[in-house]
Amino acid sequence: MTRATTFLTSTAITLALSTAAFAADAELTVFDWAGFENQALIEGYVAKHGDVPTYSFFGDDDEAFQKVSSGFKADVAHPCAQMVQKYRDAGLIEPWDVAKIPNYAEIGERFKNSKIFADDTGVWYIPTDYAYTAIAYNTDQVTADQVASLQVFTDPAFAGRISLPDNTDDTWSLALLATGVSDWTNVSEEQFQAAAAWLRQAHANVRTYWADPSELTQLMKTGEVVISWTWNDGVATMKREGVPVAFQRTPKEGVANWFCGYVNFKDAPGSEEKAYDFINAWLDHDSAKGLLENFGYAHSNDVAMKDISLDALKEGNVDPIDGIVLSQTPIDPAMRDRMTQEFEMIKSGF
């Protein structure tokens, strides 16, 4: 998921940066979503070392995994939860020593209660940020009633005026929710086929699959797109750009939430000490404020989140909701690979 409100202003630049680096402290290389080089997330690291790390960027989780699998070297990376099993299975990462991460204990247990993240061999994943995937809509051209259901994405009245993320996890979360599935950890064949059929219906209405929030912002600013399935940061970006937009997080079928975090690469080229300084800076209480203010996301550190007012959470659309939520927790890698293959076929018109 391309998670950032500070995205570069064009898709072309973002894609170029996916193979380049934001050079700073050469002793730590962070492989991250474009935009996450924001100093507000790691003030403690900068205070100690005088600069941010060197960053290399990716556009989505699959791209990141493929690059690392092909030999790209970094010290840490920022995948979302459903990708961690793939990194473990490929032998690319090693456990974190949480004795060196004091605020690990402050991370909400709901983010840690998976054997994929932590087992008797160690802690493989440090969750850091979370938010929602829901309906963004142009309030000048779409009413709240029209987005009360996810079926708006298949409504012929909006043909050619909707956009979906070019992302397996988010798009399949939409299709599953729209067909009555709110737990994607045990999808039956019948449920898979129903969701795929629904996604093919929605595909007929899609003007384009957006690659990052800056692209979606431009589409909605011009009025080419009036409804999209997107993240909190996309909505924050659009509001900042003056787009008349609202975020519907309670359609009757539900919305998705996700969380991301950091893995520790095996045979990393940089400083192990600085890798721990980096993750500790991320888990500082001030990072939670920087994350919400700059990205519209919530922090996995529950203790830090208690310092943030409910009004501020509402402003960022990360306050708790009363509705159905599909949690994008880890799923069987074989199922996810199947979803990816099916999604590519659907986008190709098959």
Q: Which positions ≥6 away from 233 have C-beta within 8 Å?
A: 3, 4, 5, 7, 131, 213, 295, 296, 297
Single out the residue of 151, 174, 306 nearest to residue 231, CA to CA.
174
Task: Report the pLDDT value the prediction gives residue 21, as an integer from 0 to 100.
Answer: 60
- Give the Å distances, CA to CA, from 196 to 148, 284, 348: 22, 42, 13
pLDDT for residue 241: 87
Kindly provide the b/e burial profile for residues 151-187, where b requires at least 16 CB atoms within 10 angstroms of the residue's own CB: ebbbbeebeebbbbbbbbbbbbbbbbbbbebeebeeb
**Residue 254 burial (CB count, 10 A):** 23
Vertex 282: Cα angle to 267 and 83 (nearest 5): 55
- From CA 316, how far away is CA 272, in angstroms rounded? 34
Q: Token digits for 98?
A: 């949480």
Q: Which domains does the chain have, with CATH numbers?
A: 11-130+259-315 (3.40.190.10), 131-256+323-347 (3.40.190.10)
How many other CB atoms are there within 10 angstroms of residue 119's CB atom?
12
pLDDT tens for the 350 residues of the chain, in order: 544 433 333 333 333 344 456 668 999 999 999 889 999 999 999 999 999 999 999 988 999 999 999 999 999 999 999 999 999 999 999 999 999 999 999 999 999 999 999 999 999 999 999 999 999 999 999 999 999 999 999 999 999 999 999 999 999 999 999 999 999 999 999 999 999 999 999 999 999 999 888 899 999 999 999 999 999 988 988 988 899 999 999 999 999 999 999 999 999 999 999 999 999 999 999 999 999 998 899 999 999 999 999 999 999 999 999 999 999 999 999 999 999 999 999 999 99
Tokens 């659009």 correspond to what residue? Answer: 238
State how far the Cα of 125 lies from the Cα of 106, in Å rounded to an integer.
Answer: 14
For the beta carbon of residue 89, count every other beta carbon within 10 angstroms. Answer: 10
Alpha helices in the chain (DSSP H): 11-17, 43-49, 61-69, 84-89, 168-178, 189-203, 213-221, 232-240, 272-282, 285-295, 302-305, 310-315, 333-347
Q: Is beta strand 162-165 parallel, antiparallel or unpaired with respect to 206-210? A: parallel
The token duo for 54 is 């060197």
User: Which pLDDT does position 236 carry in this prediction?
Assistant: 87
Least Cα distance to 210 among 201, 221, 198, 200 occurs for 221
Report which of 53, 51, 47 is spatially closest to residue 74, judged by C-alpha positions: 53
- Partnered with residue 256 across adjacent β-strands are 133, 326
Of 32, 262, 28, 29, whose CA–CA distance to 124 is shortest?
A: 262
Locus of tokens 């000048």: 140
Q: State residue 240's pLDDT score.
A: 85
Q: What is the pTM of this model?
A: 0.89
The reported pLDDT for the residue numbered 7 is 35
Is the sign of the CA dihedral 295, 297, 300, 306 positive or negative? positive
Largest CA distance in the chain: 56
Torsion of CA 297, 64, 98, 271, to 10 degrees: -110
Cβ 143 vs Cβ 202: under 8 Å:
no
